[in-house]
Structure 1
Amino acid sequence: MNDKTAADSLALISALKLHSDLTITINGFLRIRRCDARHDELGYREIDLKRFHLPINSVDNAPQKLINQPQMLIPALHAISEYSSITSDSKSKANRIAFMLSNIMKFLEYLWLNDVYKLSQTPPSLISGLPKILAIGGWHSALKISDRLNFFLETMDAPLHPLFNSTNWKVSLSSAGLQLAIGTNIANKETTCYFNQVQQFRETKGWMHSEYTIPPTTFPALNYSSLRQTLESINFLFFVPEDLRLASIPFPDYVRIAKKLTTSPGRTKNIDSHGAGKLMEKSLALIYKRSEAILGLLSNAIKILRDNPDHDKKLKTITDYVKDAELFDLIEHRNQEQRSIKIIDLNNLLRDLITACFLCIAVFNARRRDEILHPKLGLYLGCCTTYNSDLRIYEMMFYIEKSRKDYAPFYVGDATQKAVETLEKLQLIFSSKGHCNHRCGTIIDRHLALFRYKTLTHRGPAEKFTNYNFEAYEGGQAYHFVAHLNLAIDATPHMFRRLYCTIFMNQHEYPHLPALSHQLQHDSLATTQIYITSPVSQNEAAFLSRVYDWKIDSYKTDHQQHNEEIAIQMADATKEKFSEIIYSILSKKSSSGGYSKLILTLYKRLYHVVKFDALDNKDRIESFIKKLAARGHSPTPFKHAHCLSENIKIRSSSKCYNKADNQLHKENASPVLCKNCPYSWTSPEHVLTLESAHRKKIIALNSFEGDSIIRRALEIEIKNLQAVLVYHKRNMEPL
């Protein structure tokens, strides 16, 4: 095979017509447009195409650059271009494209290692066995990195090779050196698996002496998510120009393969009541009682550090200020009067205040991490404004990153408003502006993110801002806050979104599930159920009910009655809806996905059983549905609207639970079975209860004369309740 020169390859690649998100520079850099870039940040992510390699195989006796093999590189670029064209803009799009390209490059390395030089010539057997290898040992096993490295080291006698020389060779391996040595696209943190192997070789050669203990080498397997995304990335190599692509889609059922070969992905852990209470108690105390003093300390400390040249004197001045402001208890538990303040104490106090604000906003508003913290899409100066000052109601703009992908207004309370105001004052301090009289929402600047700060040094604030991220592990930005409470909390930001759901459900129970789903901005109630019906959440609710003597049984009784009529109506709506779905599948209007394939397969099997020839389309569909139901395939598309039970393999109080196999059997749902089930939710009786409450509130309103805060609050409650009634009645009309 004749290799193209780098110049010829670059010219060929530069002439490609790719999606507008992708551009290739004349010197071989791929630039991926960043949708999440701030106005002051680089608007693209850059990848050097010349850094990708191809390994030694039975034909080539030395590694080479992938860019010199355009018949392999061009399909990869077309694949990510196709992905970019069908994927809407989001904050993670550039990173996902880069991740996809990285996987494709490793796949090309895998093909080259096995003497495949053109995608269309790939043997099916080579592809079919790849998922299992990835599930066991990841790309490290598939690419035989350890064996290739050993082969390289057997003939190596050059201590100055880049593999052995880097600025931090004592603690990590040179990524560029490994790529150059064996021609691999394993890079960055992935190379740590081979650090011990290289260090042992150096000791054997006498190039260094170390008492380093070498643990057994283990190669990280791909989990469900990584394997699924990897196989999906490889699939895109089929959606490229015909003369360059794979002969067929390699993994058409990649989701099923990933599930079969890996363990089920775990859910986010829930935080326990004690830990949550401690975190929120400290957060609210810092924000309401100590925030002004802390802000004053930081403002004065910045001036003192910046203006006073005497190191000892300025620290003494700051120490005196801390004593006067009575803030020593936030810094040190012991020997409060026996040492002066250190710069690290000020930085810990700064991060503690920001952590308290984050916890308050996250827990009280159920927002995802980046909806609060993202440098571009997170909270900004002026995001919170006053809606009604008398009732202390505030309106806040949150970016909804998954469904809406845009900003949406939400009403927030005092604590959230106070947290945002504290963060805005902090930004004014770093901008050398007055903060004392600032009020939340009076200044609007979409480009000024609230969750950023400058660490303090002996000369004042650092030149660059640091973006805050909630990290509770040792060394993380929230570690001091958590450790100060003597809590061992393995906390992640998503825990606090779940905590909101726990609090919400403890207060309101199931009738308000649509409101909870709206607050979370989920696309379906089924997704919301995951947050509130897991065994951990149920156990937590049971524990809280014992502590606070809540009458949960009486709450459940209200939702166990009068389900016969609604169940019958639901069954009729189910049949009508599924008639539409099946007709769409059989008429080839919708044929993607596993369920469509199942319907088509059953249709072919039953074609000679059901006499279709003499029937029109409507009767044909009805006959087919009856046949499906008779065989136990009758679907329930509205299951999420009236059943809140999970498919969990534990003893359940659901009426469809069977002790014999320890599982739920929702396929047996019926008005009689579901009547007294605690997980049955949808009921016309619930609407009647709301209507009764609405009438009582109107009577109560008429008893007030004149204008008052209580009267205005009641008017708002009546208006909101009326909106809820309209929502329920509109949803029940089709039934």
Structure 2
Amino acid sequence: MCSRKVSNAFRKEVTAGAGRRDFDAARRFIEDKKHRRFVSHWDDEEIRIDVAPNASGVSDVKTVFDSKTVIDFSGGESIFKPQGLRKHPELLATLKALVNEDCHAHDAGDIEREVGRTVRSFLRLIVWLFRHARYKLSKVEPELVQTLATELANGGWWSALDYDARFELLLQRANVDLKFRNSLEGSGHIGEFSCNMDAISRHLMLPIASASLPKAIVQRIAEATGSQRPVQKDKDLPLVSPHSLYQNLKFLNRCALIGGFDSFGERPFKSAHRRAIELYKGEHPDLRTENLGITDVVTIFTEAMRWIHVCADGVIMVCETARNELESCDPSVLSLEVIGDRVTRKTVALHEQIADSYGLPKALRALARNQESSLRHLILKLQFSCAIAVLFNHGRRREEVLGTGKTYGLYRGCLTPANDGRDGSYLDVYIEKTLQRYASMWANEIVERAVDVMERLGQTFRPLGTEPLAVAPTLDEARKEKLFVWRHFSYAAFNDRPNVFSFQEGAKLFFSDLNVSITKVSASHIYRRCFALIYMYRHDHPVLMALSRHLCHFTLETTRIYTTDGRDVADDRSIESLFAAIEKEDADFSDEFEDIRSTYFQEKVVNILRGVNRMTFAGVASI
């Protein structure tokens, strides 16, 4: 990376009371370790990062923190009043280092979410320390960090920083200040109430995320604004959970030993996970995914196979017709409206001819509009069917298949034929949580068919006037050609980037006509769990280690979570009851088969004794 001359302003920031050694370390940090996503300069008052997916080819720069934003550093033993973090340049430099670390660690993931979490956690930590008269991380005693950990275990940041009192003051102001009251309602979520989190955060002078707002407070804010829109917040996040406590303690460890920057002098916890378990006061929730009932498995899988093996060719033919008609029209001669009508008429006419042959809905009402029996809906259902076919049959995580907003996901050319004497192919797939790299794994014919359908469907979405897509010459290039994208069949759509497939929308359409008992149809981990259960309880010789290796777990304990029931599972949804039903069906079938076989041989013996039939051996009649 090119070095950049360090400004005098930043020299003062980093070296204030720190000495030449710290400045040299910071300079090396700037020159050698600054991530390409960190686009703001190190002496800027804003922290700006590029949040665009790596494969997008464009940039999307967002400001994730402005050091002029007023934070309430007052209260407790603090000598400071509310002010911006720019008044504390050493701490601002530490925050920049942590954000840069996020850019390195989560380059292929949801970088905006991870950086947002880091900024909120750091600001909360600084506010808490200031209230305890600690203004430098390097001056914080280990015992004080343990005190903070205990407070976080008792009530999370909500309790440690007394957010309840802050919101009471906010609501009091809302009752007397009309302009402020009106500013609290957000403009998003058409049809339901939402909070203006920017206005709320400015008033609180503390970082806050919408997901952490209790429903009762959202309801009171809605009543204060006089909004007629209903509050649709489903449930409150717990103030403390084992996972949230672990995340907080892990962050405190991150704030230690950051070379060249103000940081803790030692890691507060040898194991953040073990310490979180020791401190957590409540009952540890069981987070196992629900078990799919056998009837549901059969229903879902049968419908997915119907779309992949029966409907797929018809949907692709309809898409090819729409594309070909669009290519044949000259926009310099015909208006876009006329072109749209011609494409629609041609496509609808073909659909009417082939609908029965390919099991498609009887009528195609539109190409792009979001209504029943549109071409868009056919595409979404087909893509969802392909997605769950891979999830069911390979046990992969959702984003390993889809890669929504990621640099990975299934791509054109991800399958290569097996050349080791085995049937099937090898799937090049990214393992996102453990290995965090691509791995080559065997795939059966169902996965092969799903990938083939997606590759053929993807041909219809390539830019107009281009040759059919071939597999890219290099692996890095190929991995950018993701499969789960789609387009509307219009000139505007083909002049823009493809749309990203929505798993939630596809699930809603797919399950709209199915009678299943899944509590959340957009859940995806149920298919990975189902894969593990079917292997362990239906395979002739299941080996937990083999399953663990296929799922790419680091420990067998993690794999056992997939193959055992949680504490609170209903009796009729337990593994024992679900697979006992299969065993009973197998037993009934075996008994019935045995009865049929006994009757057959009894009749055969009687007929032989009567001379009706003669059993022969090697063509020689037996007596």
| CA deviation after TM superposition for structure 1 residue 198, in Å | 3.8
Q: Deviations over 1:664-683 (max 9, x none)?
A: xxxxxxxxxxxxxxxxxxxx
32-41 or 515-524, larger mean C-alpha shift:
32-41
* Residues in 1 aligned to 2:297 and 2:234: alpha-carbon distance in whole angstroms: 39
Give the structure 2 partner of residue 117 of structure 1.
Answer: 135
* Residues in 1 aligned to 2:469 and 2:235: alpha-carbon distance in whole angstroms: 57
Q: Deviations over 1:691-724 (max 9, x none)?
A: xxxxxxxxxxxxxxxxxxxxxxxxxxxxxxxxxx
| CA deviation after TM superposition for structure 1 residue 54, in Å | 1.9
Residues 11 and 466 from structure 1, CA distance in 2 versus in 1: closer, same or farther, beyond 3 angstroms?
farther
Matches within 5 A, 1:13-24: 16-17=26-27, 18=29, 20=33, 22=35, 23=38, 24=40
1:72 has 2:73 as partner: no
Matches within 5 A, 1:155-174: 159-160=178-179, 163-164=183-184, 167-168=187-188, 171-174=193-196
1:343 has 2:374 as partner: no
Give the structure 2 partner of residue 12 of structure 1.
Answer: 13
| CA deviation after TM superposition for structure 1 residue 550, in Å | 9.2
Q: Deviations over 1:217-267 (max 9, x none)?
A: 967413221210111102333324699444765455643443333424412
SS at match of 2:337: coil
Contact 1:380 1:447 in 2 (8 A): yes
Q: 1:178 aligns with which of 197, 200, 205?
A: 200
1:289 has 2:306 as partner: no
* Residues in 2 aligned to 1:214 and 1:358: alpha-carbon distance in whole angstroms: 29
Give the structure 2 partner of residue 581 of structure 1.
Answer: none
| CA deviation after TM superposition for structure 1 residue 317, in Å | 4.4
Give the structure 1 partner of residue 64 of structure 2.
Answer: 47
Matches within 5 A, 1:62-461: 63-78=82-97, 91=109, 96=114, 98-113=116-131, 116-119=134-137, 127-128=145-146, 130-131=148-149, 133-135=151-153, 137-151=155-169, 154=172, 159-160=178-179, 163-164=183-184, 167-168=187-188, 171-190=193-212, 194-203=217-226, 210=228, 220-240=238-258, 244-246=262-264, 249-252=267-270, 254-259=272-277, 260-262=280-282, 263-302=284-323, 307=329, 309-310=337-338, 315-326=344-355, 336=362, 343-344=369-370, 345-374=374-403, 375-387=406-418, 393-432=424-463, 445-455=478-488
Contact 2:314 2:358 in 1 (8 A): no
97-106 or 273-282, larger mean C-alpha shift:
97-106
Contact 2:13 2:90 in 1 (8 A): no
| CA deviation after TM superposition for structure 1 residue 429, in Å | 0.7
Contact 2:535 2:542 in 1 (8 A): no
Q: 1:28 aligns with which of 21, 28, 45?
A: 45
Give the structure 1 partner of residue 618 of structure 2.
Answer: none
The one-letter code matched in structure 2 to 1:446 is R
Q: Deviations over 1:624-665 (max 9, x none)?
A: xxxxxxxxxxxxxxxxxxxxxxxxxxxxxxxxxxxxxxxxxx
SS at match of 2:195: coil
Q: 1:540 aligns with which of 546, 565, 578?
A: 578
* Residues in 2 aligned to 1:282 and 1:290: alpha-carbon distance in whole angstroms: 10
477-486 or 16-25, larger mean C-alpha shift:
16-25
| CA deviation after TM superposition for structure 1 residue 353, in Å | 0.6
- What's the RMSD between the two structures over aligned residues? 4.6
| CA deviation after TM superposition for structure 1 residue 461, in Å | 5.7
* Residues in 1 aligned to 2:562 and 2:233: alpha-carbon distance in whole angstroms: 40
Give the structure 2 partner of residue 516 of structure 1.
Answer: 547
* Residues in 1 aligned to 2:235 and 2:399: alpha-carbon distance in whole angstroms: 36
1:470 has 2:487 as partner: no
Contact 2:316 2:457 in 1 (8 A): yes
Give the structure 2 partner of residue 596 of structure 1.
Answer: none
* Residues in 2 aligned to 1:118 and 1:245: alpha-carbon distance in whole angstroms: 8
* Residues in 2 aligned to 1:100 and 1:461: alpha-carbon distance in whole angstroms: 38
* Residues in 2 aligned to 1:215 and 1:225: alpha-carbon distance in whole angstroms: 21
Q: Deviations over 1:79-113 (max 9, x none)?
A: 5677889x798646885465334322222223335
The one-letter code matched in structure 2 to 1:343 is R
The one-letter code matched in structure 1 to 2:45 is G
Q: 1:484 aligns with which of 513, 531, 553?
A: 513
* Residues in 2 aligned to 1:323 and 1:363: alpha-carbon distance in whole angstroms: 33
| CA deviation after TM superposition for structure 1 residue 431, in Å | 0.5
Give the structure 1 partner of residue 605 of structure 2.
Answer: none
* Residues in 2 aligned to 1:218 and 1:482: alpha-carbon distance in whole angstroms: 27
Q: Deviations over 1:167-207 (max 9, x none)?
A: 4598322222222223111145445765444444445xxxx
* Residues in 2 aligned to 1:325 and 1:134: alpha-carbon distance in whole angstroms: 62
| CA deviation after TM superposition for structure 1 residue 450, in Å | 0.8
Q: 1:549 aligns with which of 587, 595, 610?
A: 587
| CA deviation after TM superposition for structure 1 residue 349, in Å | 0.9
Q: Deviations over 1:597-650 (max 9, x none)?
A: xxxxxxxxxxxxxxxxxxxxxxxxxxxxxxxxxxxxxxxxxxxxxxxxxxxxxx
| CA deviation after TM superposition for structure 1 residue 355, in Å | 0.8
SS at match of 1:347: helix
Q: 1:504 aligns with which of 531, 535, 540?
A: 535
Contact 1:302 1:460 in 2 (8 A): no
User: Which segments of 5 or more consecutive residues in structure 1 lack a partner in the other structure?
Assistant: 1-5, 204-208, 553-735
* Residues in 2 aligned to 1:503 and 1:84: alpha-carbon distance in whole angstroms: 39
| CA deviation after TM superposition for structure 1 residue 402, in Å | 3.8
Residues 411 and 216 from structure 1, CA distance in 2 versus in 1: closer, same or farther, beyond 3 angstroms?
closer
* Residues in 1 aligned to 2:259 and 2:493: alpha-carbon distance in whole angstroms: 58
| CA deviation after TM superposition for structure 1 residue 314, in Å | 5.3
Give the structure 2 partner of residue 713 of structure 1.
Answer: none
The one-letter code matched in structure 1 to 2:525 is H
* Residues in 2 aligned to 1:220 and 1:462: alpha-carbon distance in whole angstroms: 46
SS at match of 1:280: helix
Give the structure 2 partner of residue 693 of structure 1.
Answer: none
| Equivalenced residues, count | 534
SS at match of 2:64: strand
Give the structure 2 partner of residue 705 of structure 1.
Answer: none
Give the structure 2 partner of residue 495 of structure 1.
Answer: 526
* Residues in 2 aligned to 1:435 and 1:382: alpha-carbon distance in whole angstroms: 19
* Residues in 2 aligned to 1:392 and 1:119: alpha-carbon distance in whole angstroms: 59
Contact 2:211 2:237 in 1 (8 A): no
Contact 1:36 1:377 in 2 (8 A): no
Contact 1:57 1:114 in 2 (8 A): no
Q: Deviations over 1:57-82 (max 9, x none)?
A: 24679632122222433444455677
Contact 1:163 1:176 in 2 (8 A): no
Q: Deviations over 1:336-377 (max 9, x none)?
A: 569777733221111111111111122222222222111422
TM-score by length of 2: 0.71
Residues 201 and 60 from structure 1, CA distance in 2 versus in 1: closer, same or farther, beyond 3 angstroms?
farther
